Structure formats: structure tokens, C-alpha cells
Structure 1
Amino acid sequence: MTSSADGFRSGFACFVGRPNAGKSTLTNALVGSKVAITSSKPQTTRHAIRGIVHRPDAQLVIVDTPGLHRPRTLLGQRLNDLVHATWAEVDVIGFCVPADQKIGPGDRFIAAELAKLGRRTPVVGVVTKADLVPRDRVAEQLLALQKLMDFAELVPVSAVDGFQVDVVADLLVARLPAGPPLYPEGELTDEPEATLVAELIREAALEGVEDELPHSIAVTVEDMLPREGRDDLLDVHALLYVERPSQKAIVIGHRGQRLKEVGSTARRHIEALLGTRVYLDLHVKVAKDWQRDAKQLRRLGF
């Protein structure tokens, strides 16, 4: 492990794994704040949101990428390109596999893609969600993971109860180059606030909806301004985009009830993030088949 005597280390890490492998939850546990959105729905993460871990001996910048998957749409292809571009730029990679699911074709696909990096970037194997299974099952999963590829280290972790989160941080930090901090003390992410706000709205919209929706929801923040004459209230106007009128009906819900719940959940998280009261105005729009349309993808920020 590195210590202050070795000099300060700073650099970039990212977590990879199939969708819903616990990457965003682990990022949040390491950073100690909610910077990456988490959801039980796969393909939740769309942007490479960076979380910044400040330590006396190091600064670790975590890039949270979308889950790598076999793409079926133009959006899917762009998300995969984003993952590959990120791998080429980081100093160390954490490959996450959940303890409660057998290693499958998705994991083998990722291992094969990572192997193409050669020895340029060290990969730490991380068995996530260790709190969900008995100890011997965690040990079995570590052995199964070891067979996938050549890892620099293997470690089990539970982001939920904090088990070995500091060990994961130590293993990643040990593989960073020596260098000064990259970001000012106290900063937790370099994402613009509007991007984080849009992601929190999207997370709230994904909770409890049909499985068809995760890929189909995009959010843009049109306006984020202090209320005129008041410094204690922020007006946020946002649009939720879906691909079909039937999806719009699902998001709005019976007599607008669902959209109201989305609004109040998102508002709570946004107020916690920004430390101020928020008036949140949400509208739902249909952008037909936006995931397959290059022009619409650009407009929605992909």
C-alpha cells in the first residue's frame, strides 16, 4: 500500500462489469456521496460521471461508465464506444462481478474485451454485493472470477454495509502514478450540476416502471435558475423524453399520479445535492425512436 512517505498519488480508475453489477453503488460508497445514479434497472448509467475520492496520501478519480453489452441500437454502440475510450485513459480498472449471480456470457465477453488491453492497464477483480450471500459462496465466486483472466488483485466488497470498501480504495490507489491532486479539495465530481440533476430525475422516473422503459427515458434540464427576488429557491424545468406515446402514458400514470411521485422523489434528491429548496417542473415528451436516430441522440447529449 502507498503511504504519505512514498509521496502523493493521483489518477483515474473505472469500474466495469455487466449492467447492474454494483458499479455505481461502489462508486458512491468510495466517494461518500451520491454522485452516480443507482437503480435496479440495467443500463441506468449513461454518462461517464466522475467521483473524486480525497485521501491524505492520494486523490482517486473514479469514472463511472455504462455497463458494456452487445449493442442493438445506435445508442448502445455509442455507450460501448464510451466504455472503450474510458478504458484507454484510466490508470487502473476494477472488474465487478456480483456475488449472488453465476459468472455468465456477459462477464466472459467483458473479460475478452479487457484482455485486448494487454498489460497496459492493471485490472483488479471485485466481487460485489458480498452481503447478499454466505462467506463460502463469496470464496467460490472469487475462484470462478480468477479463471476469467489475469488479475492484478482479487477482492470481495459490500458497498451497502461498507465491508472492505477501504481495501478496494487501497488496491486502486496503489496502482496510481505519483503526482499532485487533479481537483481542488472538497470537490466530489466534475460533472455540471445540470447533468447530475437530469440523472437524479431519470433515476426517479425508472423506479418501479416496466422493464421496457430503462433505455427509452432521457432527461434534459431546460432551465435551472434562482427564483426572481428569492435566494432560497431554485426553479428547475426539465423534460423527460420517451420513444412512444404508450411509454408517455406509463411515465405520467393514472391522472398524473406517477409523474407527481417522480417529481417529489427527484426533488428531495436534488435539494440534498444542491443544498437549497427546489421547485421542479416536469414535462414528458415523445421523441420517436430517439435511440436509433443520430440527430436526436446529439440533441439529447449522446
Structure 2
Amino acid sequence: MSPSDSTQAPFRAGTVAVLGRPNVGKSTLVNALVGAKVSIVSPRPQTTRHRLLGIASFDAGQLLLVDTPGIHREQKRAMNRMMNRAARGAVEGVDAAALVIEAGRWTEEDGLAYSALNAAGVPVALVVNKVDKMADKTELLPFIAEVTRERVFASVHLVSALKSKGLDVLVKDLLQLMPASAPIYGEDEITDRSERFLAGELVREQLMLRLGEELPYSTTVEIERFEEDGEMLRIAAIVWVEREGQKPIVIGKGGERMKAISTGARIGMEKLFGRKVFLETWCRVREGWSDDEAALRRFGYSD
């Protein structure tokens, strides 16, 4: 069909806030729609700490997906409070939202996320994720009936973000909620974040994957140097912990764990940036950084 054909549907572009409680697959969904890894993922809740824009471009339109930290009830530290504010603030000025929940499970925190979206007054698509993991699929219909009772959704979608199942209809319905508009970003752009930011996130992803239950939440990453050297990127990263006793756990016996963290992060960077990376990492202590708003802002956290 030619661009001048009057029957051609208008190109649509707009912003979609992606909200939900921790660990329901919001970042996996954003990555699947963008077609590239812009948000880090791990099996641990609260892996996402920053609000991040994923740019998903299609023939019919463009979705600017605002990936958010999971809305959670406990707000013990300044970082948790900042993450909750970042998630709730993501609904301001958006054209629509996607509430991501886990198939077969609705919790109080899901309710908090819905309330935030309902208060914003934007159309909300309900995205029931991880349907592939639900053993008895006959339970899906009564589950959806219960979730949608007395709650208003523009559409309901059963998806597996990990396996990219059910996403085509989701994209179509989300685009229908967007205004007619020229593309907001270039076709090849995938995020509004810098490569420097993404490098730090890829190091932090390895910390989430390779450390024990609690320690990843006491770590953050600062990129001290990010330089182009011909075809190579030279990157220096500092892993910050909260107590001196945490350093040897991150470093590991003979430096083996830190080496594995660095190798995993470097491989991820080379895949994302499309060039060779020379990565150096150190571990340092900043007492109580996660409960210190000044330290959080220094490390790039924002609400």
C-alpha cells in the first residue's frame, strides 16, 4: 500500500508505563517488545532499580515503554522508597499503561500497582504473564474473571514474555491506544539511556545472578571510566558494598567470583554494544549507601 493511500491507518506513537509488583517479568516483556536487551533481568525480585525507556518500533507505530521498579509494600530503606516513587511517577503523562501480573497469582502488591494506574486515569492493558508456567490452564479463565471483577481494563492479554508468545496482539492493542503521530525516536534507537548506564547495569546483573540471597541488594555499580579506544571500549567499574565484610564475598577466593562477574558483564556488553570491551572492576565500601539519599543520587538513582 502506498503512503498516499487514504485508507492506510495512521502511524501511531506514544508512551506506555509498564507497572507491576516485583518479579512478574516487566523487564523481560520490555526486552521482548524492543527486540533487544535494554533492561537487565534475573530471577530475583527488585532487579530493576531505575526507570528506563525501551523504544519498540513497528511498521504501524512506535511504543515508548517505561520499564519501572516493581511496586512493593515494604519500604525499609531510602532506596526502596525511591524505587516506589520512581514506579508511581512513571504514570505521569503517559498515553496508556500495561499492568503486568503473574498467571494464577494476585497479591496485595498487584492491587497497589492497579490503584496507582487507576488513579492516573489512563487506559490499562492487563498483561497476564508466565502463562506457560501455569500447569492447569483451565484455571486461567476463573483467575482472569476474579482479577477483572470490579476492575476496568482496556484489554486482557495472556502472554509468555520469555518465549515471546501472545505479543503481537498486545502490540496491536497498545498501538490503538496511542495518538496518531510521527515516530518520536529513530528506527534504530532502542533506549534513552547511555551506553555508560547500560554498562553499569550489566555488571549489576551479574551481581544479582552470582551472589547469595541478600548481598545483591547491598551492592551497586558505578562506572568510573568509559572511553573509546579505536574499535574497543575501555570501561572501569566499581562495585560498592555496604560493609567491609561483604568485600571478600564479592571478590571470592583468589578473586574468582569477581573475575566471573567481570567476564559475564563483558560478554553482555560486547553483545549489546557490538564491539570489543576491556573491562576492569574493583570492589569498595560505602557504609549504608542504600539508606542514604545523597549516596543514591551520586550512584544515579532518581525518583
Q: Same fold (TM over 0.5)?
A: yes
- Between the aligned residues of both structures, percent identity stands at 36
Counterpart for residue 38 of structure 2: 35
Counterpart for residue 160 of structure 1: 162
Aligned residues of 1:111 and 1:148 also touching (Cα < 8 A): no
Query: What secondary structure is seen at the aligned counterpart in 1 of 2:90?
Result: helix
Give deviations 1:42-64, integer Å, cap 9, x for gaps.
Answer: 11112222111111221111111
Query: What secondary structure is seen at the aligned counterpart in 2 of 1:169?
Result: helix
TM-score (structure 1 length as normaliser): 0.93
2:142 equivalent to 1:128: no
Q: 1:233, 1:95 → 2: CA distance?
A: 40
Q: 1:300, 1:186 → 2: CA distance?
A: 28
Q: 2:17, 2:39 → 1: CA distance?
A: 12
Q: 1:235, 1:220 → 2: CA distance?
A: 14
2:254 equivalent to 1:255: yes
Alignment of structure 1 residues 129-278 onto 2, 5 Å: 129-133=130-134, 134-147=136-149, 149-227=151-229, 231-278=230-277
- One-letter code aligned to 1:131: D
- Unaligned stretches of 5+ in structure 2? 1-5
Counterpart for residue 80 of structure 1: 84
- One-letter code aligned to 1:221: I
Q: How far 1:150 sits from its partner (Å)?
A: 1.2
Q: 1:147, 1:39 → 2: CA distance?
A: 32
- One-letter code aligned to 1:192: S
Q: 1:44, 1:148 → 2: CA distance?
A: 31
2:91 equivalent to 1:98: no
Query: What secondary structure is seen at the aligned counterpart in 2 of 1:88?
Result: coil
- Unaligned stretches of 5+ in structure 1? none
TM-score (structure 2 length as normaliser): 0.92
Q: How far 1:4 sits from its partner (Å)?
A: 7.7
Judged with a 3 Å threshold, the aligned counterparts in structure 2 of structure 1 residues 163 and 286 are, in CA distance, closer, same or farther, namely: same
2:15 equivalent to 1:15: no
- One-letter code aligned to 1:81: R
Q: 2:179, 2:7 → 1: CA distance?
A: 13
Q: 2:182, 2:29 → 1: CA distance?
A: 25
Aligned residues: 294
The alignment's C-alpha RMSD in Å is: 1.6
Give deviations 1:236-294, integer Å, cap 9, x for gaps.
Answer: 10111111123222211122111111011100000011111111100111111111112
Q: 1:76, 1:202 → 2: CA distance?
A: 17
Give deviations 1:204-227, integer Å, cap 9, x for gaps.
Answer: 111032221232221111111133
2:63 equivalent to 1:60: yes
Give deviations 1:96-146, integer Å, cap 9, x for gaps.
Answer: 1111x52122112222333322xx300111110111114223333322321
